[in-house]
Amino acid sequence: MNYLAGLMICEMESEQKAQKNAEKMKNCPKLLSCGITDTTYYGFYISQAGTEWWFEIPVEKPDLLGAKKIRIEMIQKLIIPDDFSFKNKNELIDNETTPCGSNCSKCQAKDQYYCTGCPALY
């Protein structure tokens, strides 16, 4: 299987909001690592090839994450260690709630991007 990765850099309003975003995203099965520096959240995500749209949404709509601005540095040719595996997928609270707590039924991207749900779950 082919993979890609993205380093998400979110400029938040405050250090508290950056910390809150890190806490919210920490259970995403696609997240390898995250952290904050002052008011900036950094998250390093890995996903299957073909899910580039998932990385594009927060750049176009930073308000979905409560950010002032989001930038993503993409890595298209990812070299994966032989013993690599994703974190265990979290169980859904219901059919609409993702590991980060977002409610897919209320997401504007669902229709705009023909989203079939959170890529963290498949």
Structural domains of the chain ordered from first start: 3-78+89-121 (3.30.70.920)
- Model confidence over 49-94: pLDDT tens digits? 888 888 888 898 898 888 999 999 999 888 888 887 766 555 544 4
Nearest to 100, CA basis, from 18, 30, 24: 24
Find the mean pLDDT for residues 92-121: 64
Residue that wins the pLDDT comparison between 97 and 51: 51
pLDDT over threshold 90, residue 42:
yes
Q: Does the structure show a pLDDT above 60 at 23?
A: yes
Residues 72, 6 contacting (CB under 8 angstroms): yes
Looking at residue 92, its pLDDT comes to: 45
**The pLDDT value given to residue 116:** 65
Burial of 101 (0-12, 13-18, 19+ CB in 10 A): exposed
Rounded mean pLDDT of 1-6?
Answer: 86
Read off the pTM: 0.80
